Amino acid sequence: MLRRSFDTVRLPGGLHLMFQSVADDGGTLRTWHTIGLPVRLTLTTVTQTRDAYYGPADNRPPGQWKRVLRALATANGRPTSYYCPSIPPSRRGVALAVPRYTVELRWETRRWDEAVTEHLQRPCPACRAAGWRRAEDAT
């Protein structure tokens, strides 16, 4: 069962702070991002339940600590860039992860942001396969 919530906070100077939260039985994804700055700042937190992160309590796969170490090694540092052959992967940011929790801060230039918005108006086959749609279609 998916639970979603949205909120927009109006800040002085024409700035907006958008908040979005998506939760299911496996955990919660929260995103805040700014609108109106030359650079779009995005803060994302991911919280996963024990069962979602480690596997079902009564049936955890072997070699747990190796899997956790590998997951932490890929989750920390530079966030994985969204890849599409038509959009250069120019996302920047930093991510901190411990088991079951991840915090990520990204910054994207307005030009890049516009290129993505424009591209997703007519997504290429790769983007469609990845489930990207126009924002108005997604709601």
26 Cβ contact list (under 8 Å, min separation 6): 48, 49, 51, 52
Which residue type, as a one-letter code, is found at position 39? V
Q: What is the CA radius of gyration of the chain?
A: 17
Q: Are strands 3-11 and 27-35 parallel, antiparallel or unpaired?
A: unpaired
Contact call for residues 93 and 104 (beta carbons, < 8 A): yes
CB-nearer residue toward Zn ion: 75 or 127: 127
CB-nearer residue toward Zn ion: 34 or 81: 81
Least gap, CB of 112 to Zn ion (angstroms): 13
127 is a contact residue toward Zn ion (CB under 5 A) = yes
Interacting residue with Zn ion among 18, 71, 97, 124 (CB under 5 A): 124
Least gap, CB of 87 to Zn ion (angstroms): 6
Q: Which 38-97 positions form the footprint of Zn ion (CB under 5 A)?
A: 84, 86
Least gap, CB of 44 to Zn ion (angstroms): 21
d(CA 20, CA 85): 27
Least gap, CB of 130 to Zn ion (angstroms): 8
**Which among 39, 16, 40, 20 has a CA at the least distance from the CA of 30?**
20
Kindly write out the interface string for residues 2-41 of this chain, putting x where it contacts Zn ion by CB under 5 A and - elsewhere: ----------------------------------------
Footprint on this chain of Zn ion (rule: CB under 5 A): 84, 86, 124, 126-127
